[in-house]
Every structure is written in C-alpha cells, then in structure tokens.
Amino acid sequence: MKNLDAINPSFARPSAFIALGSLLPLLTSLVGVGFAVGAAPDLAVVRNPVALFCLAISVASCAMLIIPRLMRWDWRAGYFGFSLLYILSISLIGGIPWLCLLVFSSASLWLRCLLFSLHTLTLLWWAGRYASLYRKVFATDALRQSVYVEDDDCIYYLQKGDRMVLDKICDFKEFPPTLFVLSTLAVSGASMLYAGDLVAFFGLPYAHIFLAILGISVNMIGVGFAARGWLIFYKYPRMLRRKTGKQVYVDMVSKPASQAKTKARA
C-alpha cells in the first residue's frame, strides 16, 4: 500500500482537515438559527422546529471538531468524504429561508407547498445529474479505472483521474448556467421594488425572501457537491468493497496510468 501520508498534502489529512472543515456547518447553522428566530420572533426557540434543526447541526459540527482527531482518521474514502458533505452546509444560507417560508409564512398552505416543492425538485434534478454521470462512469471500464485503481491490497480513488473525467472527457458543468444565476440576481434585485408588498404577503422579513431567491444557485452548488461526495466516497466505494473485499483510499496526487478515450455525456 502507498504511503498516503507522504504523497498527499499534509493539510488535507482527514484527521485535521475534516475537523477544521466542521467550522463551516457550525457557522452556517448558527446563522440559520438567527434566521429561524427572526421568522418567528414570538415563538420560543425550543418550540421553533427550524431553529432546533439548525441547533442540531451546530451540535454535530462541534462533535466533528473533536472526533476526527481522537479517532486519527486516515485516508479512507469514507473519512475524506466529509469534506464535500460539509459543502452542503452552504445551502443553509438559502435553504433556511425556504424552510421558514414553508413553516412560518402567512401565505396559503398550497402556495407554500408549491413553491417549496418546485425548489426541492430543482435541487433533486441538479443532484440527479451527478448520479447519472457517475452511473455511466462506473459502467464504463476505461472511465472507472481512471477514477478507481485497484492495487494488490486496496483500491485508490484518484482525485486527478476524477477531475480528468469530469472536465476533459465528460465536460461536466458543476455550476449553474450563467443565465440562470443572472436571472436569480435580477429577480432578487427587482424584488426590492416590491419589498413591502412581499413582506405583507408572505409574513416574513424581507431578508428571508431576498435570500430565498438569491440563494437558489448557492443551494444547487451545495447540493450538487454533496451528491458528488456521497457518490464517489460512499456509494461506489461500498460497491467496490462488496465486490473485491478491498478498502478504498484517497490518492490526491497520482494520475491515471492512461487517459480514458471513451466519451460519456452527462
């Protein structure tokens, strides 16, 4: 087995990097508590389901400040995968306003459910693009062997091979289209002209409405990266281990032996 501590960047070792990375969900969840309280100021925090949800994330984040160091996490894919799962927490910036709209808005229930469902379906569609991509990658020998390389006693996930497949072979777009991002910016900006009417209609502070619109693209990015992390560090390593009995480790430096020639469309 390779000496992964020697070849991988020292700052990225899961026992340290994952612990430090937990500060991101800690901070975003605490901001989420503020938004949840602001949406229902007359409701005690212990009775505010959105605030309790954010507080649960905060507590879990505090635990993750300690656990990776205590357990001395190594380069196993399951440990390393927390780094991308943490990115999901950036979706709290836009996601908590959407939850507040669903739970606390004074708009009719059917409208709240419709808007929240459309937002959720958009995120599921975006995450589904990653599932479709990696399904094709895993089903194509040349592409799979560029991402997961089997050795005598283990399997290595090659980060550079994965990036090669995403960027050069599949030309996969990981960020929302520019036109879509500009559209959300334009709509959120235009909403300022009707801030008073929107606040009266939805019964929420204008900041919640503004961030709900502006945060759609951010939510898509966070959910997309989290979906990718779950696929490459959990789903497919688990499938490979069932098939071969070998653990999957992360190699951030090595390149695939030969570039895959097969094209796959996302």
Distances (CA, A) of 258 to 86, 109, 254: 32, 56, 12
Tokens matching residue 113: 């459910």
With residues binned 3-state (H G I as helix, E B as strand, rest as coil), the percentages for the chain, rounded to 5, are 75, 5, 20
Count of structural domains, the chain: 1
Per-residue pLDDT of the chain (266 residues; tens, 9 = 90+): 888 989 988 888 888 888 888 899 999 999 999 999 999 999 999 999 999 999 999 999 999 889 988 888 999 999 988 877 788 888 998 899 999 999 999 999 999 999 999 999 999 999 999 999 999 999 999 999 999 999 989 999 999 999 999 998 899 999 999 999 999 999 999 999 999 999 999 999 999 999 999 999 999 999 999 999 999 999 999 999 999 999 999 999 998 875 544 444 44
Burial environment of residue 30 by CB neighbours within 10 A (0 to 12, 13 to 18, 19 or more): middle
Q: Is residue 263 part of a domain?
A: no
Name the nearest CA neighbour of 143 among 33, 223, 258.
258
**Structural domain of residue 164, as residue ranges?**
4-251
pLDDT value for 262: 42
Q: Is residue 261 part of a domain?
A: no
Q: pTM (2 decimals)?
A: 0.89
Q: Is residue 266 part of a domain?
A: no
pLDDT value for 99: 96
User: Tens digits of per-residue pLDDT, 163-217?
Assistant: 999 998 899 999 999 999 999 999 999 999 999 999 999 999 999 999 999 999 9
Q: Is residue 257 part of a domain?
A: no
pLDDT value for 55: 96
pLDDT value for 82: 84
pLDDT value for 216: 94
pLDDT value for 260: 41
Q: How many residues does the chain have?
A: 266
% of the chain with per-residue pLDDT over 70: 97
Cβ 237 vs Cβ 251: under 8 Å: no
Q: Is residue 180 part of a domain?
A: yes
Name the nearest CA neighbour of 8 among 233, 257, 256, 253.
253
pLDDT value for 258: 55
d(CA 211, CA 39): 13
Q: Is residue 206 part of a domain?
A: yes
Q: Is residue 264 part of a domain?
A: no
Q: Is residue 120 part of a domain?
A: yes
